[in-house]
Amino acid sequence: MNSNKTLSDYLDIIIKQIAKSCTKVSKTGLMTGTTGIAILLYHYARYKNQPEITEYANHLITTFSTEIKLDAGLSLDNGLLGIAWGFDYLIKQGFVQAEDDIFEEIDAFLFEENSALYLFDLGIEAEKGLHVWNRLNSCESSQKNTWTKRIENCLLNFRDIVMQKYVMYQLPFFPCKTLIRFFHICQTFREHSLYRSEIDAVYKELPEIVKISFMEEKRLSDKYLLASMLTDIPMFNEHIPKNDITHLMTGADASNFYLSKLVLDRSISIPEAVNRRLLSIATDHQQINDILSRLNPDNLGLGNEAGGLAWALLQWSIENNPLKANKKADNEYR
């Protein structure tokens, strides 16, 4: 049997199941709820030229954009920062249009009412940095100074977190996902010549923390992604083992590569061993049926088994059939 056809068939089945159940999803997060599901459905509909799937995505956006709850937490994966990131992404991709003040309420919550919120959580602060960067690149020229100042504030908070909580109080490691997002946003600032000396000063405090964090991490894909991220920063090279662990990765690890590529918007090289693992799942009838049997409105998000697999299969398909993907996009916007 043609494995590409089998993969495409199972992708169709998973997406249709997600679309049928997505209106019952109560969570709104990027990885846990309707924000990420909408991204998945819009991309699938564009690639497959299926306007009926676009309607499901439109319904999600219309429903939850009027019901954003400021008490949903802040995290990128399941809170306000992920919702804001998702809306920004959908606008940039041309899937939705929005008023200029769509982020006004979230910005007020983040920077006016709760300026010290989560100060000692490096993950939240790094994710806030992603939001600040997006806003800097889309705001009016009269607001540039405000958002540039907020970048400086993020860096000050990074320094305080590392120095006070993790150096002074001897809490020696972070999850690798936290470090991946931290280094991503810091490198983004550096690449645009923003606050390089301040970033380098924070980096000097981190080599031992990075080494311990890498050793303690259980998720193989995050270990690999962190190691890849740090190859461009010489001071960390000796603290990260160079052994190849991709052959040991699970299906969740395979999905995590493609989800990280989405969030970081970087040229992440997907190891061939990861794609082989992904394709082995997609051509395993029993495994796909088991995944479908566990589908319910509480586990449809990108960070869950079916949603993550669907996103990875879709991105693999697009990357391996680029002419088809471009043709579908051209037809949609012609």
Query: What pLDDT, on a 0 to 100 scale, did the predictor assign at position 118?
Result: 52
pTM of the predicted model as reported, rounded to 2 decimal places: 0.91
Instruction: Return the closest-CA partner of residue 21 out of 252, 258, 301, 282.
Output: 301
Instruction: Return the closest-CA partner of residue 59 out of 42, 80, 79, 82.
Output: 42
Burial of 131: CB neighbours in 10 Å, binned 0-12, 13-18, 19+: buried
- 181 vs 90, 137, 266, CA distance in Å? 20, 18, 11
In the chain, which residues have pLDDT < 70?
A: 1-5, 65-71, 99-100, 113-119, 165-171, 322-334
Query: What pLDDT, on a 0 to 100 scale, did the predictor assign at position 126?
Result: 95
What are the structural domains, with CATH classification, of the chain? Answer: 3-333 (1.50.10)
Q: Computed over its alpha carbons, how large is the radius of gyration of the chain?
A: 20
Query: What pLDDT, on a 0 to 100 scale, did the predictor assign at position 328?
Result: 47
Tell me, rounded to whole angstroms, the distance of Cα 56 from its chain centroid: 22
Contacts of 220 (CB under 8 A, 6+ apart): 245, 246, 248, 249, 250, 253
Q: What is the pLDDT of residues 243-298, one digit of tens each?
A: 788 888 999 999 999 999 999 988 888 999 999 998 898 888 898 889 989 989 88
